Amino acid sequence: MPSASASRLAALRTLLKQNELDGLIIPHSDEFLGEYTPACAERLEWLTGFSGSAGMALVLADSAAVFSDGRYITQMDQQVDGSCWERQHIYQTPPPAWLAQKAPKNARIGYDARIMSSAELRPFTTLSGITLVPTNGNLTDVLWTDRPAFPAAPATIHPLVYAGESSQDKRTRLGKALAEAGQAAAVLSDSASIAWLLNIRGTDIPCTPVVLAFAVLHADASVDLFLQASKLPADVREWLGADVRVHEPEALESVLATLSGKTVGVDPASNAVWFAETLTRHGATVQESPDPCVLPKARKNATEQAGTRKAHLKDGVALCRFLHWLDTEEARGTTELQAANKLDAFRAEGADYRGESFPAISGAGPNGAVIHYRVTPESDRALNANEVYLIDSGGQYPEGTTDVTRTVWTGPDAPPARLMETFTRVLRGNLRLGRARFPAGTTGHALDALARYDLWQAGLDYDHGTGHGVGSFLSVHEGPARISKNPSPIALQEGMILSNEPGYYEPGAYGIRLETLVLVREKAGENRPGYAFETLTLAPFDRRLIDTALLGEEDCQILDAYHAQIMTQIGPHLPDEAKNWLKTACAPLKRA
């Protein structure tokens, strides 16, 4: 009997033939192009079985493939039916290259212009002998007869005590920047940008507190917001003010048509290609430019910086309680799901916890080697004695967003020497990056090697970025800055929050990742402005896995100071038993 994925693929091929198409591009994204999507937009998962947050599928009459990056390669192997889908690394075999090799001559390849960005579609437009054809609606939706409904939850107010700047002030300075760039308006599809700009939040997608909407920001600081009126309670409507005009989503094209003869900014990465096509068709001049909210949103103001420290204090208390619990008799025989739920329960006991910032990665033994492993009832595994357990999780609080990874040894025996060496190399990478000082204008690409250096000396590496931006009660993965092997033109700037997360993964055995969040702070250099990182995360590293003989004197001093800070800030909030555990976990290292 064919799998569900095989049956759906066969039905899609029949539909393609009826529409005179030779193939179809199916991205992971929805109309809002966010990382996480509501259940009604998980088209890639419905068709292929792949549930990762980044990916694409290509379907032809006699071949089909699913693509994702290094975080999800093992997950694809587990979730995607290899009898009908090829499973490809998106960088080693880019989708356009695969299509160029596999597609028949003069192929007509369909795509939904409402769910693909210009940047994502552009590499396909250069393929010789292939014609791209926008489909009339989404073909996957034609087959997905039990598709869930669009989220109906209301938008909520994000008050100034957390936002630190009024929407009017944000809109005024961004509108001025649009005018200086010669733009009458800019299109916004990123729901996090809209949430930040208007100081609103929502619950439309898992783990990210946004309301799904489109907006047009005008140079006069007014906004056209496209959102169902039923999702705007009276207090939120009043909060938005008269300069925010609310329209039903169906009015989007008619409002865009009023921009005829004007220059409109469209971010080719965060807006669907439909926007540029529609504006052009109605006589507007499209100017490709970054989403005007992205960089200001990333540079947290003083209120947001203070808020994220409060959020990390709350989160640190929950995480330290959890790490202590892992060392108790009560935790013996627990499973990955039970452990993740226990940590979530500790967070929920704290004030103002609003849920996870992403589904927890709770991986014991070999499951920890799956970089973005998501435990399910079918994969749930016990935390056995004498193995590695990796927990990567985060919380949403009105003051800020957290993301932290700790790797622990379950004991009771001492860990193997090679494991300790590898863990310590990862730890040194985290410490080396965390203490970096760098001049203004430095990009994350220039810093990435600091985290990898000690692994490289042993011939080791990891197949993911070292750091991503983090929002303020928004997306746990936020642009535009990152720390990665891949070059980025965006320099690190004061107020940005990024992750510091080197790792190492031994397939079939274990995974190691040590993640702390850091805040970019001014640190004047001798001859030019400069920056340094302030570590926000408050959770000890497992000393059982540290080979102190491999740590330098400066490493030990920094680690001891960090652990002392944890004891000072977290200790007073813990029950006595957990506090005593923390004293041991944070005691000064004895260097071998």
Residue 487 in domain: yes
Q: What is the pLDDT of residue 34?
A: 87
Structure tokens that stand for 452 in this block: 């990898």
Residue 329 Cα distances to 324, 333, 339, angstroms: 11, 9, 14
The single-letter code of the amino acid at 25 is I
Element (H, E) at 237: helix 234-240
Q: How confident is the model at residue 525 (pLDDT cuts 50, 70, 90)?
A: low
Q: What is the pLDDT of residue 592?
A: 62
Looking at 82, 116, 143, which one is the last position of a domain?
A: 143
Residue 411 in domain: yes
Structure tokens that stand for 87 in this block: 């499973």
Residue 119 in domain: yes
Q: Which domain holds residue 138?
A: 4-143
Distance CA 494, CA 496 (A): 6
Confidence check: pLDDT of 262 > 60: yes
User: Is residue 412 reached through a cis peptide bond, with omega within 30 degrees of 0 on the bond before it?
Assistant: yes
Residue 592 in domain: no
- Give which of 148, 154, 136, 195 is closest to 41, Cα–Cα: 148
Q: What is the pLDDT of residue 281?
A: 97
Q: What is the pLDDT of residue 52?
A: 86
Phi and psi torsions of 240, nearest 5°: -65, -35
What does the pLDDT average to over 404-410? 98
User: How many CB atoms are located within 10 Å of the residue 249 CB?
Assistant: 13
Q: What is the pLDDT of residue 276?
A: 97
Give residues with Cβ within 8 angstroms of 289, minimum separation 6: 181, 183, 186, 265, 266, 267
Does residue 273 sit in the same domain as residue 368? no
Confidence check: pLDDT of 565 > 90: yes
Render pLDDT for 503-523 as a digit per residue (tens, 0 to 9).
999 999 999 999 999 999 998
Confidence check: pLDDT of 500 > 90: yes
Does residue 304 sit in the same domain as residue 263? no
Does residue 101 sit in the same domain as residue 33? yes
Does residue 304 sit in the same domain as residue 285? no
Q: What is the pLDDT of residue 374?
A: 87
Name the residue with tokens 């030990």: 556
Residue 451 in domain: yes
Looking at 109, 143, 177, which one is the last position of a domain?
A: 143
Strands 156-157 and 130-134: unpaired
CA 447-452-453 angle, to 5 degrees, is 95
Render pLDDT for 480-498 as a digit per residue (tens, 0 to 9).
999 999 999 999 999 999 9
What does the pLDDT average to over 126-144? 94
Residue 148 in domain: no
Does residue 377 sit in the same domain as residue 262? no
CATH code where residue 341 lies: 3.90.230.10
Q: What is the pLDDT of residue 526?
A: 67
Looking at 143, 164, 181, which one is the last position of a domain?
A: 143
Does residue 132 sit in the same domain as residue 184? no
Q: What is the pLDDT of residue 70?
A: 79
The single-letter code of the amino acid at 151 is P
Does residue 245 sit in the same domain as residue 320? no
Does residue 515 sit in the same domain as residue 567? yes
Does residue 394 sit in the same domain as residue 446? yes
Residues counted in the chain: 592
CATH code where residue 44 lies: 3.40.350.10
User: How many CB atoms are located within 10 Å of the residue 360 CB?
Assistant: 21
Does residue 561 sit in the same domain as residue 415? yes
Q: How many domains does the chain have?
A: 3
Comparing 116 with 35, which gets the higher pLDDT? 116
Does residue 133 sit in the same domain as residue 176? no
Residue 189 in domain: yes
What does the pLDDT average to over 279-286? 98
Residue 60 in domain: yes
Confidence check: pLDDT of 198 > 60: yes
Q: How confident is the model at residue 161 (pLDDT cuts 50, 70, 90)?
A: very high
Render pLDDT for 328-364 as a digit per residue (tens, 0 to 9).
999 999 999 999 999 999 999 999 999 999 999 999 9
User: Is residue 480 reached through a cis peptide bond, with omega within 30 degrees of 0 on the bond before it?
Assistant: yes
Confidence check: pLDDT of 247 > 90: yes
Render pLDDT for 414-462 as a digit per residue (tens, 0 to 9).
999 999 999 999 999 999 999 999 999 999 999 999 999 999 999 999 9
Render pLDDT for 10-30 as a digit per residue (tens, 0 to 9).
999 999 999 999 999 999 999
Comparing 524 with 250, which gets the higher pLDDT? 250
- Give which of 333, 181, 197, 195 is closest to 264, Cα–Cα: 181
Does residue 79 sit in the same domain as residue 164? no
Confidence check: pLDDT of 591 > 80: no
Q: What is the mean pLDDT of the chain?
A: 96
Q: What is the pLDDT of residue 78?
A: 86
Angle between the N-to-C axes of helices 417-434 and 444-456, in degrees from 0 to 180, rounded to the nearest 10? 160
